[in-house]
Chains A and B, each alone.
Chain A
Amino acid sequence: GQQVMQIPQYQHVQEGEDFTTYCNSSTTLSNIQWYKQRPGGHPVFLIQLVKSGEVKKQKRLTFQFGEAKKNSSLHITATQTTDVGTYFCAGGLYSGAGSYQLTFGKGTKLSVIP
């Protein structure tokens, strides 16, 4: 079945440093979504990328979708303590048979040292 790999699993950074998490799919995706889960909380939608090569920005966060629509990245510039949490990518695949499935990566847990 569809697999979505995400690396690294953990990342510890000093406040002010940059952070990047990478996502790779075994199949070409219809779209990719990114979620953030704060400690003790539930995942919250951040953004969706649909087009090949798409780049979107949200303040200090930059999201990219690869040309082949099989990989994606999330880059945070100058991390802050409020960025702490686990970041998940989720690959969306439309099978064309009336079925759409969202497969989550295992997440990257970000710790920010003040």
Chain B
Amino acid sequence: DGGITQSPKYLFRKEGQNVTLSCEQNLNHDAMYWYRQDPGQGLRLIYYSQIVNDFQKGDIAEGYSVSREKKESFPLTVTSAQKNPTAFYLCASSKEGQHEIPSGRNTEAFFGQGTRLTVV
């Protein structure tokens, strides 16, 4: 089955430790995204990548880092610099990446199940 997989589903870390969240897709999608979801805040974009070996900061990139060495994988590292890391993290992918046409065709986002990170 094609899909997008996030792991783990729940993650607990001590304050001050870096932690990496996994996101893998086998949909052959060019674009991948990381969102953070807090109660009442909706989905806020952390980083996105439209093509391998390239990524851009989203609205709340501070304290996070990403890499896109393979088309299938877009891991997110939550660093100790992130002041309030406890949240629900969602990874998404869409078929089209950099060479969009203005109508946005093929930009439907497929989401993973999410990782709930708790920092204690």
Contacts and interface: CB of A to CB of B under 8 A. Distances in A.
B75 interface: no
B114 interface: yes
A101 B40 contact: no
A43 B90 contact: yes
Given A1-B59, A30-B104, A31-B107, A99 B42 contact: no
B23 to A, nearest CB: 12
B108 A45 contact: yes
A98 B42 contact: no
A6 B44 CA distance: 14
Q: Classify the interface of chain A: helix, strand, loop or mixed.
A: strand
A63 interface: no
Interface residues of A, number: 29
B74 interface: no
B104 A106 contact: no
A96 B103 CA distance: 11
B42 A106 contact: yes
Contacts of A50: 103-105
Contacts of A101: 45, 48
Interface string B85-116: 00000101010101111111101111111100
Interface of A: 1, 6, 9, 30-31, 33, 35, 41-45, 48, 50, 88, 90, 92, 94, 96, 98-107
